[in-house]
């Protein structure tokens, strides 16, 4: 049994939904299919919540009416017979009655989460009707019956395993359709796994059910070696380890939600990234297998701020770093890179909301220098420490670019280099040429 997850664009139009239906029915293996809301819907529902919070009932009404008109047209195109059209319309009516009635309720966070849940409930119900139309039968499963997060917002995998309604996956061609993103919290209220959380749902269900594989279907044929928006030529990476994928997911490779790697890794369920528009393409398979393969991919993260604390008090002292980190902890600001010398500490943050307060509190420790507009260039792969030449390969490629910080050895999977963002494009191009032999600069 496999888990297949399709994102918002993959179910974003009747035509795309049809493609999904043919992908999932191409063989007899039983499948749990996890769907996002139709693209744009969750954004609209977030907006609806904001209108309701601010008491702007007119805008809320207009938004609900416009969204309903969109879904009515969607159903018209998706479903052909009068009978199925009527069924589709009644699904839309049911959920929009709920959305409309929310306009007159007093707002609270719980209500807004309930509104957000409608997107996935609608897309999955319509999809089951589409399967009916194609003579396939799909069983609709309500994720609110088995997906749960605990009081720390952590998903409860044993609860999912226990409450998943299907125990027996031996029926050939069995299709079980459920929602990504939505869940209940420990109080039994409707909640969610945060924006983009459908990938996470798929991996949690895969872990709970010990699936043979979790497939994440998007618009690109797997994880690429470089950023296609910046360099002319990229190639899809055929194999990654969970550790490599975790590094890449954090550093802006947007196709997989970073949290989704953990459950799959813990329960050792392979994750395959595939392209809905090109189902035959190989994509990327992520497994626990580690191979000493050198650099596989480069990714960049912009909007980084570097902070340097220079102090002679650090000389031969201990406990200095703890005091510095307490400042970042106080302002709930994660620190990404860190390097130290005998008289200075340099570190980076990507959330500078509290930068001026942080600076003020660091001042008693020494001289503070701040550089904004930095980018982390991160090289990911498997570098066992006795493999010579990896760092040389990177520096040889970046000879023309001033490097502000470098971090190597934090894991065997990552070399991070901090540069001013103005050099990012050039850096990614140079690395594409020298490390991957993919293009001339
Ligand atoms: N529909 C949700 C969102 O747009 C979850 C997802 O698509 O992953 O964030
Ligand atoms: Mg997504």
Q: How much is the pLDDT for 441?
A: 63
DSSP, collapsed to helix, strand or coil, labels residue 37 as coil
Ligand minimally distant from the alpha carbon of residue 218: 2
- Tell me whether residue 7 is annotated as binding: yes
DSSP, collapsed to helix, strand or coil, labels residue 168 as coil
Q: Are 209 and 217 in contact (CB under 8 A)?
A: no
Task: Provide the CATH topology of domain 2-218.
Answer: Carbamate kinase (3.40.1160)
- Tell me whether residue 96 is annotated as binding: no
State the average pLDDT for the chain: 94
pLDDT value at 300 more than 70: yes
What residue spans of 144-196 are helical by DSSP H?
157-163
pLDDT value at 219 more than 70: yes
Q: Which residues surround ligand 1 with Cβ inside 6 Å? A: 7-8, 36-37, 42, 119, 180-181, 195-198
Out of 92-106, 236-250, 303-317, 424-438, least confident range: 303-317
pLDDT value at 385 more than 70: no
Q: What's the rounded Cα separation, in Å, for the pair 310 and 329? A: 20
- pLDDT band for position 297 (50/70/90)? very high
Out of 117-121, 159-163, 191-195, 258-262, least confident range: 258-262
Classify the C-alpha dihedral 406-379-377-397 as positive or negative.
Answer: positive
> 410-419, pLDDT tens digit by residue?
888 999 999 9
Of all protein residues, whose CA lies closest to atom 6 belonging to ligand 1? 196
Determine the residue of 115, 181, 191, 259 to mutate for testing ligand 1's pocket, defined as the one with the most ligand atoms within 8 A of the Cβ atom.
Answer: 181
A 10 A CB-CB count for 225 gives 24
Q: How much is the pLDDT for 386?
A: 65
Q: What's the rounded Cα separation, in Å, for the pair 312 and 96? A: 65
pLDDT value at 316 more than 70: no
Residue in this structure with the two tokens 């902890």, named with its chain if needed: 329
296-436: CATH number: 3.30.2130.10
- Ligand 2 geometric centre to CA of 8 (Å): 7
Q: Are 160 and 208 in contact (CB under 8 A)?
A: yes
- Ligand 1 geometric centre to CA of 34 (Å): 11
Q: What's the rounded Cα separation, in Å, for the pair 271 and 3? A: 9
Can you tell me the mean pLDDT for 381-398?
Answer: 84
Can you tell me the mean pLDDT for 383-408?
Answer: 88
pLDDT value at 347 more than 90: yes
> For residue 120, which atom of ligand 1 is closest to its CA?
1
Ligand minimally distant from the alpha carbon of residue 255: 2
pTM: 0.90
- Ligand 1 geometric centre to CA of 195 (Å): 5
> For residue 257, which atom of ligand 1 is closest to its CA?
8
> 162-173, pLDDT tens digit by residue?
999 999 999 999
- pLDDT band for position 249 (50/70/90)? confident
pLDDT value at 43 more than 80: yes
- Ligand 2 geometric centre to CA of 197 (Å): 7
Residues linked to residue 428 through DSSP beta bridges, in sequence order: none
What residue spans of 183-339 are helical by DSSP H?
198-208, 242-250, 261-266, 320-330
Q: CA 265, 266, 268 angle in degrees (round to 5)?
A: 60
Query: CB under 8 Å to 87, separation ≥6 — which residues?
Result: 79, 129
pLDDT value at 437 more than 80: yes
> 130-160, pLDDT tens digit by residue?
999 999 999 999 999 999 999 999 999 999 9
Distances (CA, A) of 318 to 67, 328, 363: 60, 18, 18
Domain positions in the chain: 2-218, 296-436
ipTM of the complex: 0.93
Ligand minimally distant from the alpha carbon of residue 182: 1
Per-residue tokens: 98: 């709920």
Per-residue tokens: 51: 């209108």
- Tell me whether residue 218 is annotated as binding: yes
- pLDDT over 90 for what percent of the chain? 86
Of 70, 69, 192, 175, which is closest to residue 124 (Cα–Cα)? 175
- Ligand 1 geometric centre to CA of 401 (Å): 38
Q: How much is the pLDDT for 61?
A: 98
């Amino acid at each position: 049994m496999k888990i297949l997850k399709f994102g918002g664009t993959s179910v974003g139009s009747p035509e795309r939904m049809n493609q999904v239906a043919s992908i999932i029915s191409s063989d007899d293996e039983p499948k749990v299919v996890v769907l996002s809301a139709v693209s744009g819907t969750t954004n609209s529902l977030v907006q609806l919540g904001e209108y309701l919070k601010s008491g702007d009932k007119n805008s809320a009404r207009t938004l609900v009416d416009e969204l309903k008109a969109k879904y009515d047209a969607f159903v018209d195109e998706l479903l052909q017979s009068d009978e199925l059209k009527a069924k589709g319309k009644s699904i839309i009516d049911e959920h929009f009655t709920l959305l409309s009635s929310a306009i007159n309720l007093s707002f609270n966070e719980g209500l807004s989460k309930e509104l957000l849940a409608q997107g996935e409930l609608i897309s999955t119900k319509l999809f089951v009707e589409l399967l009916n139309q194609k003579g396939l039968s799909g069983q609709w499963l309500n994720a609110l019956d088995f997906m749960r997060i605990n009081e720390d917002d952590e998903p409860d995998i044993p609860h999912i395993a226990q409450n998943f309604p299907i125990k027996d996956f031996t029926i050939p061609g069995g299709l079980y359709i459920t929602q990504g993103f939505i869940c209940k919290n420990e109080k039994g209220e409707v909640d969610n796994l945060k924006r983009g959380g459908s990938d996470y749902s798929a991996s949690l269900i895969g872990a709970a059910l010990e699936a043979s594989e979790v497939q994440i279907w998007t618009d690109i044929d797997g994880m690429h070696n470089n950023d296609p928006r910046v360099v002319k030529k990229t190639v899809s990476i055929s194999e990654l380890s969970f550790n490599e994928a975790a590094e890449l997911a954090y550093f802006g490779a947007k196709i997989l939600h970073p949290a989704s790697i953990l459950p799959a890794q813990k329960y050792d369920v392979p994750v395959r990234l595939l392209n809905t528009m090109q189902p035959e393409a190989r994509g990327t398979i992520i497994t626990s297998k580690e191979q000493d393969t050198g650099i596989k991919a480069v990714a960049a993260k912009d909007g980084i701020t570097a902070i340097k604390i220079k102090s002679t008090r650090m000389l031969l002292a201990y406990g200095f770093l703890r005091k510095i980190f307490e400042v970042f902890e106080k302002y709930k600001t994660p620190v990404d890179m860190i390097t130290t010398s005998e008289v200075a500490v340099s570190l980076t943050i990507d959330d500078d909301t509290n930068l001026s307060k942080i600076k003020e509190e660091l001042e008693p420790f020494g001289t503070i220098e701040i550089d904004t507009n930095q980018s982390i260039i991160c090289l990911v792969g498997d570098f066992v420490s006795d493999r010579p030449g990896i760092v040389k390969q990177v520096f040889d490629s970046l000879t023309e670019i001033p490097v502000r910080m470098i971090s190597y050895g934090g894991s065997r999977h990552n070399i991070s280099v901090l540069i001013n963002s103005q050099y990012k494009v050039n850096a990614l191009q140079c690395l594409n040429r020298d490390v991957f032999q993919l293009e001339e600069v």
